């Protein structure tokens, strides 16, 4: 398997895990059970911001908490990083 394809696959899996973390925490919130720590959700947001942002708005979860707006910053940083990788390594 080519390295670029493997990197894309890993990135997609990380974002899917991030999305699932937000979905699971929302489920726990609705059920009134023990929740995922906010630092854990932010860590998932740092690693997989696409999944975190989609999860926040798909499940209406953590959208009013100011520190979770960091997920948008993480998303922008990932976009810039991916653009730089493409520019310098793939073109």
Taking the model in full, what pTM does it have?
0.86
pLDDT digit of tens for each residue in the chain (91 aa)? Answer: 788 789 889 999 999 999 999 999 999 999 999 999 999 999 999 999 999 999 999 999 999 998 998 999 999 999 999 999 888 887 6
Task: Bin 77: left if φ > 0, else alpha if -120 < ψ < 50, else beta.
Answer: alpha
From residue 41, alpha-carbon distances to 84, 86, 89 in Å are 26, 28, 31
Spacing of C-alpha 55 from chain mean position: 8
Question: Any alpha helices (H) in the chain, and if so which ranges?
Answer: 3-31, 38-47, 49-58, 70-85
d(CA 44, CA 38): 10
């Amino acid at each position: 398997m080519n390295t670029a394809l493997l990197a894309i696959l890993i990135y997609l899996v990380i974002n899917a895990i991030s999305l699932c973390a937000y979905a699971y925490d929302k489920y726990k919130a609705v059920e009134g059970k023990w929740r995922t720590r906010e630092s854990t959700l932010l860590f998932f947001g740092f690693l997989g911001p696409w999944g975190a942002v989609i999860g926040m708005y798909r499940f209406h979860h953590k959208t009013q908490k100011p520190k979770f707006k960091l997920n948008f910053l993480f998303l922008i940083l990932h976009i810039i990083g991916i653009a730089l990788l493409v520019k310098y390594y793939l073109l």
